Chains A and B, each alone.
Chain A
Amino acid sequence: MESSVLERTEDKAETLGVVDCDVHPAFSRPDQLSDYLPERWKQHVRDYAIRSANPLLGTLPYPRLTPGNGMRRDSWPPAGGPPASDLDFLREQLLEQCNIEIGILQPLAAGSVAFNMELGAALCSALNDWQIDKFAGPEPRLRASICIPQEDAKEAVAEIDKRVTDRRFVQIAMPPRTIEPAGRKRYWPIYEAAEHYGLPIGLHTSAFGYRPNTPSGWTSFYLEEHFAASNSLQTVMSSMILEGVFEQFPKLKIVLVEGGFSWLPSLFWRMDREWKRMRSEVPHVKRKPSEYAAENFWYTTQPIEEPEKNTHLLDILRWIGPDRLMFSTDYPHWDFDDPRYAFKVPLTPAEKNAIFRDNAMKLFRLQ
């Protein structure tokens, strides 16, 4: 950070609304999702809980640095309930204050990663009903994501089929820490459906999966974990490209959510260098890997990297291309990015419109 930004005043000139690609709605009480579950699963959750690879039930093994598992301290609604559970306060604190014209919901509750896959499918369906009932239904500025049990591709496709006619769902949500690398054929039916319907798939960084968060096992600290978790997005990209997913589904659109973006150019260069040398191992990959990235991938901006020299971020932006980046706040989490201040470098009006609005409008067909 350079001191020149410190005295910067609020930018009052913003007129066009922002599209926020990462808003986390919350339950108003811990068992709220059960209201949307069939009786059989309601009882199951009550008697056996929702078990996943997080070693602790309902607690994070890497405790966050703010209450509520890492919430903005000022995000508790005055009327009660956890952050982002009260639609009125979400409207006020996020949509109004940050001039958000459209916010895309990314539910983080364990549906897709529940060990019991039948339960997982029921949870995903419940999450989809809940998003519409509590958020995207009453508030047209909020749009929903189709949560899917990706490890059971048949069930996942059934859920997509069931929701796709409701245009309030604008993407498919799938966790990046899949049981197998995301490019493997077991997930291809999902990609086929997504391409068929023209729905992007958003893969949001997740704190828990089936494997350690580093290739050397589990980290000790949140400081390491927070960065390591977003490495899963690199694996999504390289696996999907190198398994030939985009040769099969050339119109498939992938959004990598909440991993920042500064690591991308280095990965592009590395993929291309290795492919040049090793392409005989993956003859089904016809083009330079970075070319698939340039056509099939988009990235949300939060948590935005903050180089010590601000202008270094412009190099990164230029190497990725401003047409691939989409702004996100991650509201109400502690590492929230405010659209007015997140970018510490001057963007051109064209870059600004693209990143804060147009790229997402076009990708999610929001108009």
Chain B
Amino acid sequence: MTSAQAEVKARPKREASRHVVARVDEIAEGKSKLVNVEGRAIAIFNVKGEYLAIANRCPHEGADLCRGSVVPLIESDTPGVVRLSRHGELVRCPWHGWEFDLRTGKSWCDPSRTRVKSYDVKVERGAALVEGPYQTEVYKISVEDEYLVLEL
């Protein structure tokens, strides 16, 4: 092993940081919001009241996934017979239509090789956030509102 490799391997794991990225009422059900956290573009989706976040750039040609349509999973075992499930849990890229699972960031067609990073989002009361530690440049935290906190 060369010393350069050893150095890379030894690099300490980055501390997770928490970021207040939106008030919960900013993203209606079935809609999304694009946020920028430490230079990363992240798309947050409201899936039936649950908030799921993935990297915004499609790994294929770079389209904004936050502008894709939120769709169910469409499957079939027999020509002409189709079933739907997981309503609202996939996003279809606004360009070439590749589907990504909002829970895992994996693409439906090539899950092992084509994927986007997914992030943890938690809903927290302003009162809890005032305790810190969290980072926010945009939001004045009000104790009675609910916020989305994204972990990097």
Consider the complex of A and B and state whether they touch directly, i.e. have CB atoms less than 8 Å apart: yes
Binding site for B on A (CB under 8 A): 1-3, 5-6, 10, 65-66, 72-74, 334-338, 340-342
Measured CA separation A167–B62 after assembly (Å):
35
The reply to whether the CB of B110 lies closer than 8 angstroms to some CB of chain A is yes
A334 and B113: CB pair below 8 A? no
Measured between alpha carbons, how far is A335 from B94 in the docked complex, in Å? Answer: 10
* A-chain residues with CB within 8 Å of residue B68 when the two chains form the complex: 73
B63 at the interface (CB under 8 A from A): yes
Cβ of B95 and Cβ of A72 under 8 Å apart?
A: yes
Q: Is the CB of A334 within 8 A of B62?
A: no
- A337-B61, A342-B61 in contact; A1/B97 too (CB < 8 A)? no
Q: Is the CB of B64 within 8 A of A74?
A: yes
Query: What are the interface flags for B98-128 relative to A under an 8 Å C-beta threshold, 1 for contact and 0 otherwise?
Result: 0000000000001001110000000000000
What is the count of residue pairs linking A and B with beta-carbon distances less than 8 angstroms?
A: 46
Q: Which of B's residues lie within 8 Å of A, judged by CB?
A: 59-64, 67-69, 94-97, 110, 113-115
Q: Which residue of B lies closest to A337 (CB)?
A: B61
Q: State A190–B34 Cα separation when bound (angstroms).
A: 51
Among the interface residues A66, A73, A334, A337, which one has the most CB atoms of the partner chain B within 10 A? A73
Q: Report the nearest A residue to B59, measured CB to CB.
A: A6
B61 & A338 in contact (Cβ 8 Å cutoff): yes
What is the CB-to-nearest-CB distance from B70 to chain A, in angstroms, rounded to a whole number?
Answer: 12
Give A188 to B126 CA distance when docked, in angstroms.
76
Nearest opposing residue in chain B for A303, CB measure = B96
Cα A43 to Cα B59 in complex, Å, equals: 49
Least CB distance, B28 to chain A, in whole angstroms: 18
B94 touches A73 (CB 8 A): yes
A-chain residues with CB within 8 Å of residue B114 when the two chains form the complex? 1, 3, 6
Alpha-carbon gap, A340 to B60, bound state (A)? 11
Which of B62, B67, B96, B115 lies in contact with A335, CB distance below 8 A?
A: B96
User: Is the CB–CB distance between B61 and A334 below 8 Å?
Assistant: no
B108 to chain A, nearest CB (A): 14
Assembly CA distance A72 to B97 (angstroms)? 9
Rounded to whole Å, the gap between the CB of A243 and the closest CB of chain B is 37
**Are the CB atoms of B94 and A74 closer together than 8 Å?**
yes
When C-beta atoms are compared, the residue in chain A nearest to B97 turns out to be A65
Secondary structure at the A interface, as helix, strand, loop or mixed, is: loop
A5 and B62: CB pair below 8 A? no
Q: How far is the CB of B74 from chain A (nearest CB, A)?
A: 12
- Whether B110 contacts A336 by the Cβ 8 Å rule is no
Q: Would A341 and B97 be within 8 Å (CB), given that A1-B110, A1-B113, A73-B68 are in contact?
A: no
Measured CB to CB, the closest approach of chain A to B149, in angstroms, equals 25
Bound-state CA distance A263–B116 (Å) is 31
Contacts of B110 in A (CB 8 A): 1
* Interface pair A341/B96, CB less than 8 Å apart: no
Question: Nearest CB to that of A67 among chain B residues?
Answer: B69
* B113/A66 in contact, CB under 8 A: no
Which residues of B lie under 8 Å from residue A341 when comparing CB positions? 60-62
Question: Least Cβ distance of A100 to chain B in Å?
Answer: 15
Q: A5-B59, A334-B95 are in contact. List 11 more A-B contacts (CB 8 A).
A: A1-B60, A1-B110, A72-B95, A74-B63, A74-B67, A334-B97, A335-B96, A336-B61, A337-B61, A341-B60, A341-B61
| Separation of A6 and B106 alpha carbons in the complex (Å) | 12
Closest 4 CB pairs of A and B: A73-B94, A6-B59, A341-B61, A74-B67
A6 to B115, CA, bound (A): 8
A65 to B96, CA, bound (A): 9
Give every chain A residue within 8 A of B115 (Cβ-Cβ). 6
Contact of A3 among B63, B67, B113 (CB under 8 A): B113
A1-B113, A1-B114, A6-B115 are known contacts. Are A73 and B69 too (CB-CB below 8 A)? Answer: yes
Q: Which residues of A contact B59 (CB under 8 A)?
A: 5-6
**Distance of B31 from chain A, by nearest CB (Å):** 14
Residues from chain B with a CB closer than 8 A to the CB of A3 are: 113-114
The answer to whether A10 touches B96, judged by C-beta atoms less than 8 angstroms apart, is no
Query: For the complex, what is the distance from the CA of A3 to the CA of B116, rounded to whole Å?
Result: 11
Q: How many whole Å from A72's CB to the nearest CB in chain B?
A: 5
**Complex Cα spacing A74 to B32, Å:** 14
Which residues in B have their C-beta under 8 angstroms from that of A335?
Answer: 95-96
